[in-house]
Amino acid sequence: MRIVLTGAGTGGHIYPLVAVATEINKQIPDNEMLYIGTRSQMYKQAEAEMARLQIPVKNVMTGKMRRYFSLHYFIDFFRIPIGIVQSLWILLIYMPDAVFSKGGYASVPVVIAAWIYRIPVLTHEGDAMPGWANRVNGKMSRFVALTFAVAQRYFAPGKTMVTGNPMRKKMKEGDADRARAKWKIESSVPVVFFFGGSQGARNLNTAAVKVLPELTKVAHVLHMAGKNEVERTRVLAGKKGFRGDGERYTLVPYLERDDMADAYALADVIVARPGASTITEIAANKKVALFVPHGFAANDHLRMNAFNIAEAGAATVLDEDNMGEHIFAQKIEQLLRSNTIRKQFSENISAFYHEDAAKKIVTGIIRMLEK
């Protein structure tokens, strides 16, 4: 069986593709897979992950929808049709039995080409509110797998199934003791883990640095600032008297899979953007979280994700627009102090982890081919 995987842009697209590809190898041993992405954000990471699974890679041009004016709009106008032609050629040569799309702007030309060839597509939507790419893809897909049941209203009736978000199993196999030794963190000190996703988050990084003087009195702060943000963050922290190499503050640019798993295992409180993959990984580890959505995400999906989590009594949510220095520190310290809140959040957020998500998606791909 030949299966094409597509989707790119962030770790939230790449790592679920890795989880599904791993499951395809388990359920369909006699398979060939091809990954079609684009040379943009995190493409080197995507290529490295696919190489580890011995999956060949092809890249196509595509365009990105932005919520602000940009001259790239005019360039993207030509990129998308070129990407569709490229995808038509790749699929004609490879001619897969099925396509699995994780969404993102990179997937759109591939899904359109598959629809033209009548190749069945299964799309996965990780957020409570789909972005433009998956709204387009969903119309051309046989099935749409969802993380949040509330997203069903955006797709045709009878086409959706709630599977949860596929996650790499390693992300729940971290070791807290190993993490403390790795980053030289005292055994008796609680840990607050800040991160804004694979691309970093400037406003969240700035806010984290502002609360360091207060927060480091009661906890050690582990801060993944993002590769593009780490030097700027280091300068800001230095002005506050923190070097980022210990002394209750550890600053890192990015954490690979095993280090990230250890950070999850170590953290007492996690402060992060409420992306679908982040929510799934926090839920898998039953961790206490403060989610900070911002309003610049496509279709405001981060706020919608956060709303669904907060409604379930599974985390604290603080909108970026209301993230004053003192209230931010108070919210985090409250989560560190209150055993009642910690127990409630730890129990309730686990409902957002579906251990069999990748298995259900691959079963859906097989079922799609039987029709």
The predicted-structure confidence for 287-301, as pLDDT tens digits, reads as follows 999 999 975 555 578
- pLDDT tops 60 at residue 354: yes
Does the pLDDT of residue 79 top 90, yes or no?
no
Q: Please give the CATH topology (third level) of the domain spanning 2-167+354-370.
A: Rossmann fold (3.40.50)
Q: What is the mean pLDDT of residues 67-93?
A: 80
Banded model confidence at residue 44, pLDDT cuts 50, 70, 90: confident
What's the pLDDT tens digit per position in 137-189? Answer: 999 999 999 999 999 999 998 999 999 999 999 999 999 999 999 999 998 89
The predicted structure's pLDDT at residue 209: 95
Note the helical H segments in 201-273: 202-210, 212-215, 230-239, 257-266
Output the pLDDT for position 85.
96
Using the predicted structure, report yes or no on whether residue 11 has a pLDDT greater than 80. Answer: no
Cα(50)–Cα(46) distance, integer angstroms: 6
3-state secondary structure of 22: helix
Q: How confident is the model at residue 199 (pLDDT cuts 50, 70, 90)?
A: low
Closest CA to 6 of 163, 298, 16: 16
| Amino acid 65: pLDDT | 58
Question: What local confidence, expressed as pLDDT, does residue 40 receive?
Answer: 74
For all residues of the chain together, what is the average pLDDT? Answer: 91
**pLDDT number for residue 198:** 61
- Residues ≥6 apart with Cβ < 8 Å to 165: 16, 124, 126, 147, 276, 277, 279, 280, 354, 357
Taking 90 as the threshold, does the pLDDT of residue 68 lie above it?
Answer: no
**Full DSSP string of 159-193:** SEEE------GGGG---HHHHHHHHT--TTS-EEE
Report how far apart the first and last C-alpha atoms of the chain are (Å, whole number): 15
Name residue 162's beta-bridge partners.
146
Instruction: Supply the pLDDT for residue 73.
Output: 61
**What is the per-residue pLDDT across 202-226, written as a single tens digit (0 to 9) for each?**
899 999 999 999 999 999 999 999 8
Q: In this structure, are residues 272 and 196 in contact, taking their beta carbons and an 8 Å threshold?
A: yes
SS3 at position 32? strand
- 114 burial (CB, 10 Å; 0-12 / 13-18 / 19+) is buried
Domains 2-167+354-370 and 170-352 share a fold: yes
In the chain, domain spans: 2-167+354-370, 170-352
| pLDDT of 132 | 86
At the top level of CATH, the class of 170-352 is alpha beta
**Per-residue model confidence (pLDDT) at position 253:** 93
